[in-house]
Structure 1
Amino acid sequence: MTADAPHPTTPVRATDRPGDASPFALGLLLRRAHWRAATVMTEALRPLGIELRHFAVLIVLVDRGPTVQRDLAAATGTDKAGIMRVVDDLERKGLAIRKSVPGDRRARAVEITPQGLELFDAAHVAAEPLAVRLVAGLEPGDSEQLTDLLTRFAHPADKGA
C-alpha cells in the first residue's frame, strides 16, 4: 500500500450520546425526548386512572368527534386489536361509548362521554405543572421554538396546506 492510496474510513456509529454525528442521531434524540415527555405525562395521568394510550384516543375524539375504530387506529398509530382493547377500557371506565354507524352494520363509531370530557379537562390541569417542569432547563423562548420545530418535523405535509 502506498502513501497516496486512500484509507478506508470508519463509519460513524450511533452512540446515543449528546453530539452523536451518526445518521441515527436525530431519531435517537427524538426517542429519548419522547421517553422523557411520556414519563412526565404518565405521571400526570396515573392519578386519573388512565394511560397515555387511552389519552391519545380521547384527544382524537375531542378533536374529531365520533370516530370509527379504524380511523382511531390510524390516528393513534395503533393496530386494530390494540385500538379495540383501548376502546374497551374507555367504555368500561365510562369515558367513551361505541355507537352504530348509519349505513354500515359492521362499523362502530366511538364517542367521548361527558365523564370522558371531564377527565380530559382534568388531565390538562394535572399535566400543566409537570409540563412546566419538563422544560424547566430550557432558556426563555426555547420551548416555543422546540414546539414549532417538532410540529414542522412531525407534520411536513401541513407546511404548504
Structure 2
Amino acid sequence: MNAEQRLLDAAALTVYRLNGQFLALGDELASPAGISVAWWQVMAAVEHQPQPVAGIARAIGITRQSVQRVADILVDKGLCEYRPNPAHKRAKLVAISEQGEAAIRRIDPQHEVLARRLAAALGPADFAATVDTLTRLAAALDSISSETPVD
C-alpha cells in the first residue's frame, strides 16, 4: 500500500467515525423535539428554501429513495408539506411547515451550546478551517467520482 492509499484509508475511517459521532449527537439533539436525526437532516435541507427530493438527496449525500421515504413521513406528520414545482410537474417541492419550524426551534438552544463547545475545543479559526477542508474533500470526491480509473 502506498502513501496515498494510506491517506485515503485514514481519511475514510475518520469520516466514518465522524459520521457516527454526528448521527449520535444529532439524535441526542433532535429527540427532545420528537424527531430523528434523519428527519432533521431533511427538514434542515428545506428550512430556507423548498427543494425537490432529488436536490435534497444530493445536498445531504443519501439516496433519493431514502429522502422520499423520510419526506413522506414528514408530510404525514405535518412537519413538511409538498408544493407544486414550477420547474417540473411531477417532482414536487418539499417545504418545511410551521410545525417543522417549531421543532427545529426546540433544537436550537442545545444546538447552539454544542456549536459553542466545539468551537471552544477546536478554536474558531481551526473550526472554520476544518469545515473548509471537509468541504474541499467532498468537492474533490465529487469531481473524481465520475472519472474512469487509469491502469
TM class by shorter-chain length? 0.7 to 0.9
Kept after mapping to 2: 8 A contact 1:45/1:126: no
Q: Which has the larger radius of gyration?
A: 1
Change (3 A) 1:62 1:23: closer
1:34 is the counterpart of 2:25: no
Say which of 86, 101, 108 aligns to 1:124: 108
One-letter identity of the residue aligned with 2:106: A
Deviations 1:33-76 (A, max 9, x none): 2222221121111111212221121122124x121222222222
Distance of 1:110 and 1:48 partners within structure 2: 20
Percentage identity across paired residues of the two chains: 29
Match of 1:111 in 2: 95
Shift of 1:23: 3.9
Structure 2 residue ranges without an equivalent (≥5): 142-151
Match of 1:80 in 2: 64
Match of 1:56 in 2: 41
1:24 is the counterpart of 2:6: no
The CA RMSD over aligned residues, in Å, is 2.9
Distance of 1:128 and 1:24 partners within structure 2: 32
Shift of 1:113: 0.9
Instruction: Give the TM-score normalised by the residue count of structure 2.
Output: 0.73
Match of 2:55 in 1: 71
Distance of 1:145 and 1:66 partners within structure 2: 29
Structure 1 residue ranges without an equivalent (≥5): 1-10, 13-20
Shift of 1:102: 4.2
Instruction: Give the TM-score normalised by the residue count of structure 1.
Output: 0.69
Q: How many residues align?
A: 139
One-letter identity of the residue aligned with 2:19: H
